[in-house]
Amino acid sequence: MKAKNSIEMSNVANSKSKKGFEKTKTNKKQKGGDSMRKKAVSFLLLVTLAVAALPFQSVSAREGISVQIVNQHGEAYRGDSINVMVYIDNYGYESRTIYVGCSFRDENGKWHDLRDKPVYVESGKGKYITFCWDIRMDAPTGYYDVTVAAWKGYEWSFFGYRMKGELDRDYWYDYIKVR
C-alpha cells in the first residue's frame, strides 16, 4: 500500500508541476508584455512630470527675489532715528522694479509702517537699501519686531491702494528695545 500511495502522490506532484510549468511559461510571456507596458507607463509618467515641472521652474526663476535684513539693532530711545539695512537679491531671469516695505510691531501688537520704496534690481544682481524709522516721543517702550517684504506692485481696494503679490519676507523678533 505504501508503494501505491507514493506512486499516486508522485503522479499528483507531476501533474501539479506540469500545470505550474505551463503557468510559468504563460507568465513569462505576460511578464514580457507587462515589462514593456511598465516601461511605457514609466516613460509617460516621467515625461508628464518633467513637462509639469517646467512652468513652475520658469515662474520661480522669473520671480527670483529675496530680501534680508542685514543689520542688527540693540536699543534706542524715543525720539531717536534707527536705520534698517536690507539686501535685495534678484536671482531671477529678468530685471525689474519691486516694492519693498518695512514695518515695526510693538509689544501691544500695533504695526508701525514705514513708507515703501520702489527698487529697480537687475537680473542676477543685488542691491542694498536703508529704511529710517523716527521713533515718536509717545511710542510705547519695550521690544519691537521688524519685518521687510518685497512685493510685485499695487492694487486698488476699498481702503485705497495696497501692495499685492508678495515675493519674499524677512522677519526679526525683538529687533530693537525702545526705552
pLDDT interval class at 154 (50, 70, 90): confident
Q: Domains of the chain: which residue ranges?
A: 1-62, 65-178
pLDDT interval class at 42 (50, 70, 90): low
Q: Identify the burial level of 89 via C-beta atoms within 10 angstroms of its C-beta, where 0-12 means exposed, 13-18 middle and 19 or more buried.
A: middle
Per-position b or e across 144-172, b if 16+ CB within 10 A of its CB? bbbbbbbbbeeeeeeeeeebeeebbebee
pLDDT at 65 over 70: yes
Residue 100 CB partners (closer than 8 Å, separation 6+): 67, 86, 88, 116, 117, 119, 129, 148, 149, 150, 151
pLDDT of amino acid 169: 96
Percent of the residues in the chain that have a pLDDT greater than 90, as a whole number = 56
Signed CA dihedral, 79, 84, 85, 88: sign only: negative
Q: Which of 66, 102, 98 lies closest to 175, judged by CA?
A: 102
pLDDT at 32 over 50: yes
Please count the CA atoms within 13 angstroms of the CA of 25 that sit on its side-chain side: 5
Cβ-contact 168, 60 below 8 angstroms:
no
pLDDT at 4 over 60: no
27 vs 85: which has the higher pLDDT: 85
Determine the CATH number of domain 65-178: 2.60.40.10
pLDDT of amino acid 153: 87
102 vs 164: which has the higher pLDDT: 102
pLDDT mean over 57-80: 80
Residue 105 CB partners (closer than 8 Å, separation 6+): 111, 112, 144, 145, 146, 147
pLDDT mean over 1-7: 48
pLDDT of amino acid 24: 46
Percent of the residues in the chain that have a pLDDT greater than 70, as a whole number = 69
pLDDT of amino acid 43: 63
pLDDT of amino acid 72: 85
